[in-house]
């Protein structure tokens, strides 16, 4: 596998996405890994319209796609085909295939919303809907003794809001906890993308990836994302607690569809 021979610079170039959030810009990264688009919108002085990239060869962004949006800061609104959805920090919004017009706005320019989203191909149109943080499925895991006490908030998934293939949520680590997804796993039937945020200004996260017997790490700062192909583990350890949004696309939506890796087998 080519990635086994990558140096640090090549590893970052191939999988890391930096400078995701830019004021008054639509930032989009098209990945060939399950054709996921990872992006953001930070409307400050003006509203931002979701436009299709040239790579999509589509008349509009969601012509053949679905999208999951989560607001990570400030208050804002997303207007989709004339329907206005107001979001605060931690709220999510799903828009189904065929939604033609999507516009992002902030309520207060001094404290703009920061919309992060994942989008993947869809062959079925499911209804659009808001899933507030309070409405998500909350699962508490880990312990302070293991430095991994966290809450997993599931927004779009088979047991909640139905989607075609997108599964998305947010994990929040408690103070004193720094590890996520340990013991780690892979899932051959889908890829995953992580976006880390709410990291201290002088903090970092060491994100671990690679095949279980040939692990690599990438140093990540706040509001950066990383692509995890199906063959790769995806785990992290920070210099303090943090949050991250995870999004998955691929053949299977089952949250528990994982190939577990024992800690003793990691190399």
Position 46 scores a pLDDT of 97
Q: What is the pLDDT of residue 91?
A: 98
CA angle 20, 64, 124 (to 5 degrees): 115
Q: How confident is the model at residue 18 (pLDDT cuts 50, 70, 90)?
A: very high
Window from 156-160, 229-233, 236-240, 260-264 with minimum mean pLDDT: 156-160
Confidence label for 171 from pLDDT (cuts 50, 70 and 90):
very high
Round to whole Å and give the CA distance between 65 and 164: 9
SS (H, E, C) 188-234: CCEEEEEEEECCCCCCCEEEEEEECCEEEEEEECCCEEEEECCCCCC
Is residue 256 predicted with pLDDT exceeding 80? no
**CB-based contact 150:198 (threshold 8 Å):** no
Q: What is the CA radius of gyration of the chain?
A: 18
Residue 197: pLDDT band (50, 70, 90) is very high
pTM: 0.96
Structural domains in the chain (count): 1
Q: What percent of the chain has pLDDT over 90?
A: 92
Rounded Cα distance, 29 and 38, in Å: 5
> Is pLDDT above 90 for 255?
no
Tell me the CATH number at 221.
2.60.120.10
Per-residue model confidence (pLDDT) at position 159:
82
Encoding tokens for residue 251? 């053949």
- For the stretch 80-110, pLDDT in tens is 999 999 999 999 999 999 999 999 999 999 9
Residue identified by tokens 């017009």 is 101
253: containing domain: 2-265
Q: What is the pLDDT of residues 109-142, one digit of tens each?
A: 999 999 999 999 999 999 999 999 999 999 999 9
For 51-70, what is each residue's pLDDT tens digit? 999 999 999 999 999 999 99
């Amino acid at each position: 596998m080519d990635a086994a021979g990558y140096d640090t610079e090549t590893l970052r170039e191939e999988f890391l996405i930096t400078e995701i959030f830019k004021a008054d810009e639509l930032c989009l990264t098209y990945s060939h890994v399950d054709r996921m688009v990872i992006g953001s919108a930070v409307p400050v002085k003006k509203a931002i319209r979701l436009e299709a990239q040239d790579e999509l060869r589509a008349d509009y962004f969601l012509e053949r796609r679905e999208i999951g949006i989560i607001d990570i800061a400030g208050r804002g609104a997303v207007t989709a085909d004339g329907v206005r959805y107001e979001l605060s920090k931690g709220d999510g919004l799903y828009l189904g295939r065929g939604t033609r017009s999507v516009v992002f706005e902030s309520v207060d320019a001094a404290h703009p919303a920061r919309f992060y989203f994942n989008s993947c191909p869809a062959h079925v149109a499911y209804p659009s809907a808001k899933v507030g943080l309070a409405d998500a499925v909350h699962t508490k895991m880990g312990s302070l003794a293991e430095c991994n006490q966290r809450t997993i908030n599931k927004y779009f998934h088979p047991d909640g809001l139905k989607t075609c293939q997108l599964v998305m949520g947010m994990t929040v680590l408690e103070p004193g906890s720094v590890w996520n997804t340990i013991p780690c796993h892979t899932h051959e039937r889908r890829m995953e993308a992580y976006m880390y945020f709410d990291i201290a200004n002088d903090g970092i996260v060491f994100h671990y990836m690679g095949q279980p017997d040939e692990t690599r790490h990438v140093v990540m700062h706040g509001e950066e994302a990383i692509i995890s192909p199906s063959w790769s583990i995806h785990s992290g350890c920070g210099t303090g607690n943090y949050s991250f949004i995870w999004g998955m696309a691929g053949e299977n939506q089952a949250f528990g569809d994982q190939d577990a890796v024992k800690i003793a087998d990691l190399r």
